[in-house]
Amino acid sequence: MAAQPILLRLPMVMRITGLARSTIYKLISQNQFPVPIKLSTRAVAWPQSEIETWVSSRVRAH
């Protein structure tokens, strides 16, 4: 059985990336940040693997 992806809510994504909510959504609108998965009408989350990949790409770009 395949492992279920770990989903991160916004506060954890902000903590991991060091970015503010407004910056995250600005980067999403510019296609520069992973798009969240809609969990319900008012809840979204990001796959942990996508956030880790994004952070790694920023470190490599430095």
pTM metric for this prediction: 0.90
Q: Name residues of the chain where pLDDT drops below 50.
A: none
pLDDT at 3: 83
Comparing CA positions, the residue from 59, 61, 51 lying closest to residue 13 is 51
Q: Is 39 helix (H, G, I), strand (E, B) or coil?
A: coil
Contacts of 38 by beta carbon, 8 Å cutoff, 6+ apart: 44
pLDDT at 1: 65
What sign does the CA torsion over 31, 46, 25, 21 have?
A: negative
23-38 tens-digit pLDDT: 999 999 999 999 999 9
pLDDT at 8: 98
Comparing CA positions, the residue from 34, 56, 36 lying closest to residue 45 is 36
